[in-house]
Structure 1
Amino acid sequence: MSGRIHSLDAMRIVAIVFVVLIHTDPFQGINTYGNAINFGTKTISRFAVPFFFITSGYFFALKTSHRGSATYLTKRAIKLISLYLFGLVLAVPTFFGGQLARAELSGRSLQATAVSSVIEYLDPVELVYYGTSVSEILWFLPALLFSLLFVYLVVVIGNPSYVLPIAVCFHLVGLLGSTYTMFVDVPFETRDALFFGFLYTGLGYTICTRGWEPSKEKSRLLFGTVVMFVVSQFIEFYLLGYLLRGEPFGSYVYAPSYGISTALLSISLFLFLLSRPTLFADTPLPEWGTYAVGIYVTHPTVFAILRAFRDTLESMGYTIDSMIVWHLMSTPATIVGALVLYVFAHKLRLIEIGGSHLPGEPWLRTRRSN
């Protein structure tokens, strides 16, 4: 397949909307119906993060088919690290200030809170590998970097054909450690690069290297499989979260990060998009896809600010968290706010959309050129 794949570009902005929906929890806690709606929203949204992993693995294979993979991996690593640093620069003041404010309201020592927060932020494993030391939302960036590294190591040490089988083995452990916990106790975090991202990045890599790109004639069949696996994911999560636990549906929200159906849904969707490369080509969506990564990196900060605003009003007696209008507006407000913040950072030359995201590098480059 050659040329621009408009469908993948467009799906980036669609997928990032679903990522934000996962974090904003629309209608959760209002009532039984609100919890049911939130369960449905989260269940559908679970394709979004795997989509970004698969896409990255696919383009990793595509871009390295005629040049050194180490060179491309280095460039990707620099970009991912710069994005992660940009996200941290935005998140640290917001989250740190929020922790101090909560400590002040609860009567806890500000000094002790500040020290414990700094220690937590600088935890090397959480900061470098898991990406959760400041904001759990930013975990994707280190996970993608290490997932690409794992794929690269398997290819260099072994063979490209080994990538998917090895990744599947690790992912099965991840499923036991997160979703299917009733079978075995896995005593470590499995929503990471090795047990989660590796599989999906490996899927994208394998799709490209094995030439699994389907023709347009198969797009209807693939769309049917997407629908089928959406339904199967609903069934899987419902069985795990409610039926097997003996809980009434809607009494709370059970929405694991992934399941068996998630991989099947994600790969079906990706193959469908490959079968229709010009899908959405006549819409603004492919161009909006450029802003997807920026919205992802900035939305933890915006969401934290909105959440602090909500908590402040709640403490004053305004129960806005139970108001439907709040749940209707929180997701769009987070997305728009994140986009505005991203563009504003570009205007200030803190980062460069389509270029460097190393905080302050575009500004320093401009100063040097002048």
Structure 2
Amino acid sequence: MTPRTASIESFRVLAIFTVILWHTSTFVPNLSRFAEGHLPVILAEPVVVSGYLLWWVGIPYFLITAGYCFRKSSLKNKDPIAQFRRYVSPLGWLLFGWLCIYIVIPINWPAEVISHGWWQAFYTAAQKNVDLIADKHISLFLDGGRPVWHLWFLPALMVSLAVLTLVSIFQLQKYLIYLIVSLYVMALAEEFVGGYFVSSTIHLGHWIQAILLTALGWWFAERAQPSMAMAWGLIVGGYVLALIEGMIMMPMFHGSHQAIQQHTFLGGIALGLGLFLLALAKPSLGQSTPFPFLARFTLGVYVSHPLVLYTLRPILWPKLGSWPLREVLGALVVYAVSVLVTLGVGKVPIARYLVMKPVRKQPRAVIGDAN
């Protein structure tokens, strides 16, 4: 595989946009209200479930791609521990740097600054968030609660790569498919026994999903190039299966947002995998578009977009009104501004590694880089 495959890079842009749209936090509720208010029940439920499937287009694609690229690199590099350190060390510094930023930034910081001044707004936010981390610590990184938010992805990815490194060291590749199946069973067991449906303070769902999806990418790295039929079969079949799963769950859990959102959709896994296999089956897809260029900003956009969202939401969202697709337009604006922020920060020597991975010493970035 070439260092930059146009289709894989293009799909990174699609994936990061779905992540931003998901993080607007209002897309799925507004879509649900619109569907339930304007569509018959037989159509409303599939539309609502499709909104929840948005998550399975973004994060899973990054994780599957990470596992695939990590395995491709390990086939060339015979020192798995050295390779693991090259991948994980920059991710650790990214996590530390951005966690420090989100600890001191209030969620609605423009309004807080106007009301209380710069010092009081940021000091109060820092005090609350430090207390929150001291109280909940591990669970915040597992669930992605405030102020960790989206940064849960970084430690989850690091743990996933650590698991795959151990698989490589102990030559356990032939058992990888059993690990994948076991992780899926564990995810379901946590949901129905010790997770979101039963009182519990520690939820491993996101991290189990991360290890599972990264392992899937690793496993496919040693397989023959997939066909278009296989890719589209997984996409269509996965989407249909996920719709069935969601429509079964909605009456069971009375449309519980948390229950459906945290469910490990088997169809969602197939959908995310199908998108990645489509990128492998058609390497030139998106080559003549700006997407491969924009993909290099993906890592910076991922870590910085909540900060941009904090800034723009009180200004932009009221102007967009309440029409159903306002979150899509808002997400496009947040993405564009995040690209500009990444580009600007990337030009500052001291701050550039907040939005990119070092490229001279690193293999291919697992999410994307900014240079």
What amino acid maps onto 1:244 in structure 2? M
Indicate the residue corresponding to 2:337 in structure 1: 337
1:266-297: CA deviations, max 9, x gaps?
22222222111122222221221111111111
Distance 2:103 2:286 in 1: 37
Indicate the residue corresponding to 2:34 in structure 1: 33
Distance 1:55 1:294 in 2: 17
- How far residue 83 of structure 1 moved from its aligned partner, in angstroms, is 2.5
What amino acid maps onto 1:120 in structure 2? L
Distance 1:143 1:283 in 2: 32
Structural mapping, 1:303-322, within 5 Å: 303-309=309-315, 322=322
Alignment of 1:225 with 2:234, yes or no, is yes
Distance 1:288 1:182 in 2: 38
- Is the CA contact 2:197–2:259 (under 8 Å) kept in the aligned structure 1? no
From the superposition, tell whether residues 118 and 256 of structure 1 become closer, same or farther in structure 2 (CA, over 3 Å). Answer: closer
Give the stretch that moved more between structures: 33-42 or 50-59. 33-42
Indicate the residue corresponding to 2:369 in structure 1: none
- TM-score, structure 1 as length reference: 0.77
Instruction: Tell me which of 153, 156, 162 is aligned to 2:175.
Output: 162
Q: What SS does structure 2 have at the residue aligned with 1:95?
A: coil
Alignment of 1:151 with 2:139, yes or no, is no
Structural mapping, 1:68-147, within 5 Å: 68-95=79-106, 98=109, 101=112, 115-121=127-133, 124-126=137-139, 132=145, 134-147=147-160
Q: What SS does structure 2 have at the residue aligned with 1:192?
A: helix
Instruction: Tell me which of 289, 292, 295 is aligned to 1:283.
Output: 289
Which structure 2 residue ranges, 5 or more long, are not aligned?
37-43, 360-371
Indicate the residue corresponding to 2:273 in structure 1: 267
From the superposition, tell whether residues 337 and 86 of structure 1 become closer, same or farther in structure 2 (CA, over 3 Å). Answer: farther
What amino acid maps onto 1:191 in structure 2? G
Indicate the residue corresponding to 2:245 in structure 1: 236
- How far residue 74 of structure 1 moved from its aligned partner, in angstroms, is 0.4
From the superposition, tell whether residues 324 and 229 of structure 1 become closer, same or farther in structure 2 (CA, over 3 Å). Answer: closer
From the superposition, tell whether residues 84 and 48 of structure 1 become closer, same or farther in structure 2 (CA, over 3 Å). Answer: same
- How far residue 64 of structure 1 moved from its aligned partner, in angstroms, is 1.0
Indicate the residue corresponding to 2:22 in structure 1: 22
From the superposition, tell whether residues 50 and 309 of structure 1 become closer, same or farther in structure 2 (CA, over 3 Å). Answer: same
Indicate the residue corresponding to 1:53 in structure 2: 63
From the superposition, tell whether residues 131 and 224 of structure 1 become closer, same or farther in structure 2 (CA, over 3 Å). Answer: closer
Alignment of 1:213 with 2:225, yes or no, is yes
Indicate the residue corresponding to 2:205 in structure 1: 191
From the superposition, tell whether residues 38 and 81 of structure 1 become closer, same or farther in structure 2 (CA, over 3 Å). Answer: farther
Among all aligned residue pairs of Structure 1 and Structure 2, give the percentage whose two residues are the same amino acid.
Answer: 20
From the superposition, tell whether residues 157 and 288 of structure 1 become closer, same or farther in structure 2 (CA, over 3 Å). Answer: same
Indicate the residue corresponding to 1:366 in structure 2: none
Distance 2:110 2:148 in 1: 12
- How far residue 204 of structure 1 moved from its aligned partner, in angstroms, is 0.8
Q: What SS does structure 2 have at the residue aligned with 1:281?
A: coil
Alignment of 1:43 with 2:57, yes or no, is no
Indicate the residue corresponding to 1:364 in structure 2: none
- How far residue 78 of structure 1 moved from its aligned partner, in angstroms, is 1.5
From the superposition, tell whether residues 130 and 229 of structure 1 become closer, same or farther in structure 2 (CA, over 3 Å). Answer: closer
Number of residue-to-residue matches in the alignment: 339
1:14-59: CA deviations, max 9, x gaps?
1111111111132734873257556433324413211111111111
What amino acid maps onto 2:29 in structure 1? Q
Q: What SS does structure 1 have at the residue aligned with 2:53?
A: helix
What amino acid maps onto 1:227 in structure 2? V
- Is the CA contact 1:27–1:327 (under 8 Å) kept in the aligned structure 2? no
Distance 2:323 2:196 in 1: 40
From the superposition, tell whether residues 310 and 268 of structure 1 become closer, same or farther in structure 2 (CA, over 3 Å). Answer: closer
What amino acid maps onto 1:82 in structure 2? W
